[in-house]
Chain A
Amino acid sequence: QQPVQSPQAVILREGEDAVINCSSSKALYSVHWYRQKHGEAPVFLMILLKGGEQKGHDKISASFNEKKQQSSLYLTASQLSYSGTYFCGTERNNAGNMLTFGGGTRLMVKP
């Protein structure tokens, strides 16, 4: 079953923060976050495994709440380059990295 992402779209000014959520009705093994620019392939941001810790690099971090089966992606002090569509992909077990993707969150960062 497809995970649900929220919000569907968000507009920010440079320097503002944003949170994107990804929720599943099923127990998850892992959550993968990707960013996709228009006309390009998805680019991997980070992965969170069941039982793992919150992850992050630069000003992008993510968490995984196993009790709620929800992951959140945190974008801090956003830059123009953060614009794009963010997708979460979920795995229910470690059976081959075959992901079920959410519908995406469109993020636009304005100067």
Chain B
Amino acid sequence: NAGVTQTPKFQVLKTGQSMTLQCAQDMNHEYMSWYRQDPGMGLRLIHYSVGAGITDQGEVPNGYNVSRSTTEDFPLRLLSAAPSQTSVYFCASSTRRDGETQYFGPGTRLLVL
């Protein structure tokens, strides 16, 4: 199993540009989520999904959209990039079972100029 994969690894955007961060998992996990991590800080939840077709907002959803058309994929869209969105973005997945934790992808480093 590849686990949780994310692309791209690095991206530089100009203010106002849009882009999609890709996330895929091959563990048949029901739950998927997106976090952002700013320098020297913990992770903050952006959006999450408890299954295909179901998404909801986390702590910091503004400026981001998600969709979940398949169990495997959970892309994150930046609608109009702003310098405040410069961060490292982590995708994670988990099962519904009690006692199971989240498995994180390697992250995407995004710089918005």
Contacts and interface: CB of A to CB of B under 8 A. Distances in A.
B74 interface: no
Interface string A98-111: 11111110000000
A97 B100 contact: yes
Instruction: Name A's interface SS.
Output: loop
B31 A41 contact: no
Interface residues of A, number: 22
Contacts, number: 58
Interface in B71-113: 90, 94, 96, 98-107
Given A41-B106, A97-B100, A99-B43, 15 more contacts: A2-B42, A40-B106, A41-B104, A42-B43, A44-B103, A87-B42, A89-B43, A96-B31, A96-B48, A97-B33, A98-B31, A99-B45, A99-B102, A101-B43, A104-B41
Contacts of A28: none
Contacts of A104: 40-42
Contacts of A89: 43, 102
A98 B58 contact: yes
Nearest to B30: A96
Interface of B: 31, 33, 35, 40-45, 48, 50, 58-59, 90, 94, 96, 98-107
28 contacts: A2-B42, A32-B101, A32-B102, A40-B107, A41-B106, A41-B107, A42-B43, A42-B90, A44-B103, A47-B100, A47-B101, A49-B98, A89-B43, A94-B98, A95-B50, A96-B48, A96-B50, A97-B31, A97-B33, A97-B94, A97-B102, A98-B33, A98-B45, A99-B43, A99-B45, A99-B102, A101-B44, A103-B42
A100 B59 contact: yes
Contacts of A87: 42-43
Interface string A31-64: 0100000001111100101000000000000000
